[in-house]
A = this chain, B = another copy of it.
């Protein structure tokens, strides 16, 4: 029911833990955002040869694994409804705020969607004395429906 994590991901995460480096360190080493790098590690995004090489180097892993990071993966990790509470909250947000977001986007932009491909996602920690906050910033190109 839960997520089946690919073998290569387990290997990469184990190496990251063994070396004791953070995603923020990888961000510096690779020159890409930490979320995107985590996405490569979970084999949901494909790296260029250069990016893959830097990731493997930073993790002290053999460059032989390079093709496993550059291949275009079959994407989609989760079960239909996620059971992990952290991931589920995003599903719940869609259940509760999905249609309201749709209304507001259509009013601002017309009929179309926010691209999930020409898209970036950042996770920030916002310190707050009443309890720190997670800030997730999604930014996708608006794609208007084509007519023909």
Contacts and interface: CB of A to CB of B under 8 A. Distances in A.
The interface centre, meaning the residue of A24, A33, A42, A87 with most chain B CB atoms within 10 A of its CB, is A87
Interface string A8-41: 0000010001000011100000001111101101
A1 B96 contact: no
Give the copy number: 10
A103 B23 contact: yes
Which DSSP category, helix, strand, loop or mixed, fits chain A's interface? Answer: mixed
A134 B147 contact: no
Interface residues of A, number: 97
A23 to B, nearest CB: 5
B98 A78 contact: yes
Given A44-B97, A146-B120, A148-B120, A76 B84 contact: yes
Given A32-B148, A109-B132, A104 B23 contact: yes
A93 B42 contact: no
